[in-house]
Structure 1
C-alpha cells in the first residue's frame, strides 16, 4: 500500500486483494477500514487474516501460504465467502480457522455447524458511519456501481442510471464518499457485490445488475441467501425496481452482534454496544448514553493497544499458537462464545431499560443489579453479585459519568446515598470521604462507625457549581476514600476486594423553576 493510504499501519498479516496498489476496490479496502475503526488487536494469533471477501478457495489460499516461509502457517477467516461449491482440500482446510461465514452456501461447502454466524462484515457500516444526504451527489438519484473490471467500459451512465460511481478508491475519504452515495441514493444498480451489501445495510433499494458479466455467481447467491432472498439479476432500472418491490418485505439483515461476536480480533466495546442496539431496533439516544459509559474503559483508549497489532514480531507467541492442540482451540472458542452471550444479555437488559426512560429524564438514578445506573459507572467498580444490591468501588478514586441531558445541568444540588465500608475495629478509627466534581473538591467528611455493622449508610448532598451547569458535556463525579484493606485483610471474611463506597442512588434536586 502506498504511503498516502490511511491503512498503512494495519497489521501486516491482514490480507486483501491489491493491498499494495495505489487504487483499491472499495469492497476489499473495507477490511482495512473496519480493522482500524472497529477492532483492536488479534486474540487468536495466526499467520494471516482475511476479514472480507470471496477468498475461500483452494488456489487462493495456497497462494496465501506461499507468502510466508513458516511451515504449517494458518489463516483465520472472519465472515468471508467461498468462490464456488467446491470443498477445500483437507490439507488446505486443516490450516484454516473459520470465524463465521458470509452466507449459508459457504457454511454448507465448509461443512460448518448450523449455529455458525452468518453475515458479510460490510453490513456493519451503519453502526460506524451515518449517511448524510446533504453531502451526497447521489441523493434522490439512481446510481450504478459496476464491477471494478468493467470501469473502463463506461464513459457515460449505462442503462437509465443517473450516475456511475466507480468502485475504485484511494483513501478513507473516497471510501466514505462512495458509501454515503450508495446509502443516500434512491436506487442502486449493483455490478459490485459490496455495492449491494451496503445498500441492503442502509435500507437503500437495490438490484443485482447483469451487464453481460457476472463476477462469481456463487458469491451473489451466498449473500442473497444470507439476507433471506434469492439472487436474481436484472438488465435495467425498471426490472430492478420491479424485482426489489417483490423481495423487500422478505429481507432480513443478519445479527450484527453475532458478526462482531465471532471476530478473531478484539472488538472495541462501543461497537458491540451499537450492534446490540441495532439488532434490538433501539434509537441512537439510548445507544449514545451507554457509549459514554463505555468510553471510560481503558481498552477504548490506551495507547499500548497500537503496539498489540504487531504480534508477528514476537515469534514465540506464533510458535506457541501453531502447536496448540485442536481441543484447546475449541475450548477457547467456547469461552469466547459464552463471554459474548453474557455480554449480549447484559447489554440487552440495560438498553431495554434505558429506552423506556428516554422520553423524560428521571430525577433519581439507582444502581441496583438491574438498574441503568450501572451503565454510567467508570472504571473501578464491581458488578453486584453474591446477593449484593449495588456496586462497590474497589479503587481509591472511582467515578460516575452523568450524561448531558439527564437533568443534572438543571439541578441545584445532587443527593448521593451509599454505604461506606468502615468496620468498627481498634485499628480503624475513621475513614475520610472526598467527592470531586470535574476535578474540583465539592465535599469532604471524616466518617466514623459506632455500630456493629461493617458499613455505615451515608446520605449527603453536593451543590452543582454554576459554571458546571453551562458545560456542554457530561458531568464526572468521583468518590475518593483512603484505603483500609479488604474484608479478608481485616479478618472479617474471605472477600479480597478493597471496598470503598457501595453506591445506591443519585438524585437531582432542582430549582423550583427548573422542575
Structure 2
C-alpha cells in the first residue's frame, strides 16, 4: 500500500540524496544512490558506490573520469522514482512506499533490475527491460574474493532497517548490527553469525550472498513488502514470509536458498558508458 503525501513529508528519509561526483565540471557518469539527510551512510545504499567503483577499477576505470556523454546511473536501492529520462538502470528496484505518479520518466536505459516485480512495473509503462535480475550486493563475494570470510562466532545477529534502529534499541536486543556502521564492518559482523535476522534488505542479501541462512523480521509496518518480494522472486523464490520477534525468527529458520547467476548480472554492467 502506498503512503500518502502527508506521511511521506514526515519521513525525511524518503527525500533524495545528492548524486555522487556532482562537483565535476566535465561530462561524466553520475552514480545516484540514497543517503540519509543527516549526513550518515546507510550501508546497503552505500554498497552501490562500493560495488560500481570496484567493477570499474577492475576494468581500469573510475567514477570521476571524463566520458563522452553525461549520464546518470542508478544501481543498488529502491530508488527508481528518482530516475529521469535516459538514466541507466542496473539492479535498481521500485520503492513500494512511493506513489506511481512520482515516477516521472518516460524512457530509461535498463540493463538489469532487482526482480520481476520491478520489471513488470516498467514494462507496464512501455519501457523495455531485459530479464536480468539481482541486487548487485549479491556480487560482493565475487568482486572481493578472499576479502570477507565466514567466521561463525555468534548463534545469530540482528540487522535492523534504518527506520527500525530506534525501536531495536528500545528492545535491547543482543548482537545488533547498525546499518550506519561502515559497509565493511557490517559485512564482517554479518559473517560472524550462524544465522541472520534482519529487517534490513541488505542484511538479508549479504547473508545469503555468503551462504548464511537468513530470516526477515518485521519490527514495524514502515517498509513496504514490495522490495523484499521483488528480491526473493528475482532469486528464484516466492513471496517473503516474516517473523515479528527474534524468538519467532529463530524458530522459523532461514529462507529457501537463492538462485543467482553472478555472470549474467556482471555482463549486464553498463561499462559502455565509460568505454565508448
Counterpart contact for 1:139–1:181, Cα < 8 Å: no
Q: 1:205 aligns with which of 188, 204, 213?
A: 213
Partner of 1:69: none
Instruction: Give yes or no for the alignment of 1:243 onto 2:252.
Output: yes
Partner of 1:222: 230
Q: 1:90 to 1:106 in 2, by over 3 A?
A: closer
In the TM superposition, what whole-angstrom CA distance separates every residue of 1:65-122 from its partner, at most 9, and x where no partner exists? 5xxxxxxx6311111101239767896122x211110001111111166852100000
Q: Match of 2:44? A: 27
Name the counterpart of 2:166. Answer: 152
**In 2, are the aligned partners of 1:146 and 1:190 still within 8 Å (CA)?**
yes
- What residue is the counterpart of 2:7 in the other structure? none
Whole-angstrom distance in 2 between the partners of 1:44 and 1:100: 23
Gaps of 5+ in 1: 1-6, 66-72, 268-307, 310-316, 318-515
2:261 corresponds to? 255
Q: 2:75 aligns with which of 42, 51, 63?
A: 51
- Residues 33 and 162 (structure 1), Cα distance of their counterparts in 2 relative to 1, 3 Å cut: same
Aligned length: 239
Q: Distance in 2 between matches of 1:266 and 1:185?
A: 39
Aligned-partner Cα distance in 1 for 2:266–2:247: 36
The question of 1:99 aligning with 2:114 is answered no
Please give the residue correspondences for 1:80-159 in structure 2 after superposition, counting only pairs within 5 Å: 80-84=92-96, 92-94=105-107, 96-111=108-123, 115-129=130-144, 130-133=147-150, 139-155=153-169, 158=172
| Alignment partner, residue 38 of structure 1 | 55
Corresponding residue of 1:234: 243
Measure, in 1, the Cα distance between the counterparts of 2:139 and 2:241.
24
Distance in structure 2 (CA, Å) of the matches to 1:155 and 1:140: 19
* Structure-1 separation of matches of 2:179 and 2:46: 10
Q: Which moved more, 1:26-35 or 1:257-266?
A: 257-266
Q: TM (normalized to structure 1)?
A: 0.41
Counterpart CA distance in 2 for 1:163 and 1:157 is: 12
Relative distance call for 1:12 and 1:168 in structure 2 (3 A) is farther
1:186 Cα deviation after fit:
1.4
The residue number in structure 1 matching 2:32 is 15
Contact 1:144 1:157 in 2 (8 A): no
Structure 2 unmatched runs, 5+: 1-19
Residues in 1 aligned to 2:206 and 2:216: alpha-carbon distance in whole angstroms: 13
Q: Deviations over 1:389-446 (max 9, x none)?
A: xxxxxxxxxxxxxxxxxxxxxxxxxxxxxxxxxxxxxxxxxxxxxxxxxxxxxxxxxx
Please report the RMSD computed on the Cα atoms of aligned residues, expressed in angstroms.
Answer: 3.3
**Would the aligned equivalents of 1:46 and 1:74 in 2 still touch at CA under 8 Å?**
no
> For residues 414-493 of structure 1, what are the structure 2 equivalents within 5 Å?
none
Shift in Å, 1:220 = 0.9
Q: Judge conservation of contact 1:207–1:240 (CA < 8 Å) in 2.
A: yes
Return the index of the structure with the highest Cα Rg: 1
Q: Return the TM-score normalized by structure 2.
A: 0.74
Q: Give 1:448's aligned residue.
A: none
- Alpha-carbon shift at residue 243 of structure 1 (Å): 3.3
Alignment of 1:286-297 (within 5 A): none
Match of 2:134, SS?
coil
> Following the alignment from structure 1 to structure 2, what is the Cα–Cα distance between the partners of residues 113 and 241?
41
Relative distance call for 1:254 and 1:266 in structure 2 (3 A) is farther
Residues 189 and 206, structure 1, Cα contact 8 Å, conserved in 2: yes
